[in-house]
């Protein structure tokens, strides 16, 4: 009687490979996105944190502080947004155009033009003075700090 040839011993699979194989077979009909969230767990995150804190590295506390700060910023941003905190938009300033009356005489038109010209010249003069004060300030600042200031 002949004996069958010795069979090859079964291939050993790592626990991680077994877990992934189980997940693939159990959730094969679900989209990848849903399967991803099934594998995420808070206990795994806590275990990772404990393992990281066991490392003997001078950077671990800095990384922990950075991760905590980022987490607080993101969570705080969501909390502020959900609490109804909102900056109100600025109100528009509407300038209405005054139309002259239809029965305006030539003398009234000339007077109106003169008034508008005087107001316009006053605004232009105020803008020039403000610009000159700004130039003078930057000129003095440049001289005080030793920066070459061009008068253009």
Q: Rounded to an integer, what distance in angstroms lies between the CA atom of residue 84 and that of residue 86?
A: 6
Six-digit token pair at 106? 């030539």
pLDDT at 147: 84
Q: What percent of the chain has pLDDT over 90?
A: 27
Q: Which DSSP symbol is given to 55?
A: S
The DSSP annotation for 21-47 comes to HHHHHHTTTS-HHHHHHHH--HHHHHH
Does the pTM surpass 0.85? The reply is no
Stronger pLDDT, 143 or 31, i.e. the higher one? 143
Mean pLDDT of 36-44: 72
Q: Is the pLDDT of residue 59 over 90?
A: no
Provide the terminal-to-terminal Cα distance of the chain, rounded to the nearest Å. 111
pLDDT at 124: 97
Q: Is the pLDDT of residue 42 over 60?
A: yes
Most confident of 2-16, 93-107, 114-128, 135-149: 114-128
Domain extents in the chain: 16-82, 103-152
Mean pLDDT of 65-86: 84
pLDDT at 113: 93
- Residues 110-143: pLDDT tens digits? 999 999 999 999 999 999 999 999 999 999 998 8
Buried b (16+ CB within 10 A) or exposed e, 87-109: eeeeeeeeeeeeeeeeeeeeeee
């Amino acid at each position: 009687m002949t004996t069958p040839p010795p069979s090859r011993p079964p291939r050993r699979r790592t626990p991680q490979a077994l877990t992934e194989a189980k997940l693939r077979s159990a959730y094969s009909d679900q989209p990848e996105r849903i399967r991803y969230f099934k594998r995420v767990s808070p206990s795994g995150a806590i275990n990772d944190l404990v393992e990281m804190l066991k490392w003997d590295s001078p950077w671990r506390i800095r990384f922990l502080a950075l991760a905590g700060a980022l987490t607080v910023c993101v969570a705080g941003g969501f909390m502020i947004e959900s609490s109804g905190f909102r900056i109100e938009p600025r109100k528009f300033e509407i300038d209405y155009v005054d139309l002259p009356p239809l029965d305006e005489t030539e003398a009234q038109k000339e007077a109106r033009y003169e008034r508008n010209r005087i107001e316009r010249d006053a605004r232009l003069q105020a803008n020039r003075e403000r610009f000159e004060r700004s130039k003078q300030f930057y000129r003095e600042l440049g001289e005080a700090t030793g920066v070459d200031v061009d008068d253009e």
